[in-house]
Homo-oligomer: A and B are copies of this chain.
Amino acid sequence: MTEPLPQGTVIGILGGGQLGRMLSVAASRLGFRTHIFEPGANPPAGDVAHRVTTASYEDAEALRAFAETVDVITYEFENIPTSALDLLETLRPIRPDRRALAVSQDRLVEKAFLTDLGLQTAPYAAVDDAEDLAEALAEVGTPAILKTRRFGYDGKGQAVLRTPEDATEGLAAMAGAPAILEGFVNFTKEISVIGARGLDGSVACFDPGENVHREGILRTTTVPAQISDAQRTDAVLIAAQILNKLDYVGVMGVELFVTPTALIVNEIAPRVHNSGHWTQGGCAIDQFEQHIRAIVGWPLGDGARQSDVEMENLIGADMERLPALTRQPRTQIHLYGKTEVKPGRKMGHVNRIL
């Protein structure tokens, strides 16, 4: 596929949240249509999609019908049930493919993959039961974080163990799910690299952004990150190494802890990433369009940073600040159309052009 796909080509997107919504908008800019598959009714992405299927990931009929209307399938989240992927990949190309999902759906597999690549991660150990946890605590030490191996996001399915005495309560929070104990990394800051790899194998990364989290949820990303030139180069090389190893196609988010002596890979997300939203205000081609370009076989676009940007998430009651935000200069507002405000819910974000 070296010629751009024709106008009207349909891109199937699994997941109808804000990432699917912004992917859909980016697809439209390039003349493509989208078909959203989402179990929940009235998904945010449905407002800007050509078509929406509301069905469960267990509904093989619906999955098949969905696949038959699209030319290529992508997704906005990594926790897609295996059975759905098994079916879909027999019908249409899924980009990024199963390799990326296998690695990112399981924190233990992810850590092993990164370690095999020679990259540094937090110290970790597998935890299936109380005995494992005792051993893991002896090896990793405290404080540490116990996390379910699968299906975690935004701090959910996690328990902080400040001392070994927190073990029992922490394990209970896993509700029997296979888990991983991760040692704390004493980092000075957290950055992320949004990388992209095209169908032709070319790689392009956006400038690393500097992230601030609160209560496990990303609050701000600022570019450029305040890191050394060597760290900037290393961060991009790490992302490129991961992308190439997976024969990846699409955009990936790579979160890194910065310590005085190393860059430590926290986690990878095989999709557009909240910490890449700044690209909408800072680059000619943003992460959403970059992803669409990659999965349809276009050349990767020019993601060079043209402005410094601070991205701030609007979470829950932050929406009360909206009237004031609408009056701020150099401020791009992105809202997701969610009618119900809940604590911790991502309602939108703003990009401040610095």
Beta-carbon nearest neighbor of A45 in chain B: B28
Given contacts A25-B25, A28-B25, A306-B307, contact A339 B6 (CB under 8 A): yes
CB 8 Å contact bits of A105-131 with B (1 = contact, 0 = none)? 000000000000000000000000000
Supposing A7-B337, A322-B4 touch, asked if A21 and B31 sit within 8 A by C-beta, the answer is no
Does A263 lie at the interface of the complex (its beta carbon under 8 Å from any beta carbon of B)? no
Q: Mark A33-61, 1 if CB is under 8 A from B, else 0.
A: 11000000000001111100000000000
Q: Write the nearest CB–CB distance from A281 to chain B, whole angstroms.
A: 7
A207 to B: closest C-beta gap in Å: 15
| Interfacial residues of chain A within 274-315, with CB under 8 A of chain B in the complex | 281, 284-285, 293, 298-299, 301-302, 304, 306-307
Contacts A28-B25, A284-B281: A33 and B322 contacting too (C-beta < 8 A)?
Answer: no
Measured in the bound complex, the distance between the Cα atoms of B327 and A31 in whole Å is: 17
CA distance in complex: A353, B282 (Å): 12
Given contacts A31-B335, A31-B337, are A327 and B299 in contact (CB under 8 A)? yes
How close is A305's CB to chain B, nearest CB, in angstroms? 12
- A9 to chain B: closest CB distance in Å? 9
**Chain B residue at smallest Cβ distance from A353:** B284
Contact of A326 among B298, B307, B323 (CB under 8 A): B298
- Report whether over half of chain A's contact residues are helix, strand or loop; otherwise say mixed: loop
- A222 and B25 alpha carbons, distance in the complex (Å): 25
Given A31-B335, A338-B7, check contact A329 B306 (CB 8 Å). no
Q: Which chain B residues border A6 with CB–CB below 8 Å?
A: 339
A332 to B29, CA, bound (A): 9
A283 to chain B: closest CB distance in Å?
Answer: 10
Assess the B302–A339 pair: CB atoms within 8 A.
Answer: no
* A28 touches which of B299, B337, B347 (Cβ 8 Å): B337
Complex-state Cα separation, A50 to B43, whole angstroms: 11
C-alpha spacing A31/B350, complex, angstroms: 13
Whole-angstrom CA separation of A217 from B71 in the bound complex: 34
User: Which residues on B sit within 8 Å (CB–CB) of A333?
Assistant: 29-30
Provide the bound-state CA to CA distance between A31 and B47, in Å: 9
Given contacts A7-B339, A284-B281, A339-B7, contact A48 B31 (CB under 8 A): no
Closest to A51 in B: B47
For chain A residues 7-34, which have a beta carbon within 8 Å of chain B? Answer: 7-8, 21, 24-25, 28-34
Q: Per a CB cutoff under 8 Å, which of B28, B285, B337 touches A48?
A: B28
**A336 near B: Cβ within 8 Å?**
yes
CA A343 to CA B264, docked complex, whole Å: 55
CB-CB contacts below 8 Å: A318-354 with B: 322-323, 326-339, 347-348, 353
Closest 6 CB pairs of A and B: A31-B335, A302-B329, A48-B48, A8-B339, A31-B337, A28-B48
A-B contact pairs, 21 of them (CB 8 A): A6-B339, A7-B336, A7-B338, A7-B347, A8-B337, A8-B339, A24-B48, A25-B28, A25-B29, A25-B48, A28-B48, A29-B333, A29-B335, A30-B335, A34-B47, A284-B330, A284-B331, A298-B326, A301-B326, A302-B329, A306-B307
Known contacts A28-B47, A302-B328; 18 further A-B pairs (Cβ under 8 A): A4-B322, A4-B326, A7-B336, A7-B338, A25-B29, A25-B48, A30-B333, A31-B335, A31-B338, A31-B348, A32-B337, A46-B50, A48-B49, A281-B284, A284-B332, A285-B332, A304-B329, A304-B330
